[in-house]
Amino acid sequence: MAEVLVPFQELKDLCASKLVKVGVKPEHAEIVADVLVHADLRGVSSHGVLRTEHYVRRVQEGGINLNPNIAVKETGVVTAIIDGDDGFGHVISKYAMEHAIKKAKEKGVGVVGVINSSHCGALSYYVKQAAEENLIGIAMSHTDKVVVPFGGAKPFFGTNPIAYGFPAMKHKPVILDMATSNVAFGKILHARETGKSIPADWGVDSNGRPTTNPYEVEALLPFAGPKGYGLAMVVDIFSGILVGAAFGPHIVPMYGEYNKKRKLGHFYCAINPAAFIDVHSFLSNMDRMIDEIHECQPAEGFSKVMVPGEPEQLHEEERMKNGVPVPESVYNYLTQDRQI
């Protein structure tokens, strides 16, 4: 399917407008749209504006609380639990990381668990919040079962992403944001939207067999076999069991049961380098590490060795200038009620 190039601010406005029309508070719609377009700018379309239609449906069917009372329970000097009251995960998560950042600046570390949330989008957005304050950011979130455990044929854990953000001085932050599956399920959705086939190591069919047809995918595969499977369990412990949320097969699914509150858990942490080392020294050594990685001899077929998150940063720079490619079906959905 064809794609449409859309200026990033227009795309953000279209997304926010779509949400406001179904009763989302403008300030909340703005945050959700900002997180979604952040993903599209970075080339992570699986977590971009294609999710808007899903959120609208969940709002319309009662699966998201439009007027949440987001409450903070201080559980220790550097720890807290935030109850999102079933609101938008993007809004709750941005607030949670802001709270972790505040604690990190005051006490060296801020660790915030989140309960009663919903899908929060790309975790890179939240670790970037910390990195822009010269702090290290860590984020994790469990999701509903869609990934087969190593050696299994049926799903147990979710894609269970984890992200880290590290500030530098002259360079942009190093950001690692990855699903513990080979890919996020949103990439399967994007392949369906664009009519493309997928690699055989992305997902399996109803019989647990690998498939290249995105419409046949019933579950995803963990990355690196037992390693991705093990990390998925770690993420579910941190963002599920540790904070008092559900885990694995007990989580309300994202697709279907749109009237149910998902009660998701997340885990956010901000670390102040100043608690360990002179900040200037930390930032300058980050720059040195990045420079030395860039100086590594590239392998055949590569023009340059990059650090985690750098390809996404280059996408962002290009798309902010030239527009964001959006599947035509998604663009049509976002603009169908637009007033000229």
Cα-atom radius of gyration of the chain, to the nearest Å? Answer: 20
The token duo for 137 is: 């950011």
The token duo for 96 is: 């949670």
Q: What is the largest CA-CA distance in the chain?
A: 56
Residue pair 220/203 in contact by the 8 Å Cβ criterion:
yes
Residue 250 falls in the annotated catalytic set: no
- Looking at the DSSP bridge assignments, the partners of residue 112 are 80, 268
Give residue 269's identity as a one-letter amino acid code: C
What per-residue string of b and e applies to 263-284 under the rule 16 or more CB within 10 Å gives b? bbbbbbbbbbbeeeeebeebbe
CA dist., res. 287 & res. 90, Å (int):
30
Helical spans, DSSP H, in 120-267: 124-131, 185-194, 226-236
Determine which one of 119, 142, 171, 190 is catalytic.
Answer: 119
CA dist., res. 196 & res. 45, Å (int):
14
CA dist., res. 76 & res. 180, Å (int):
30
Residues classed as catalytic? 119
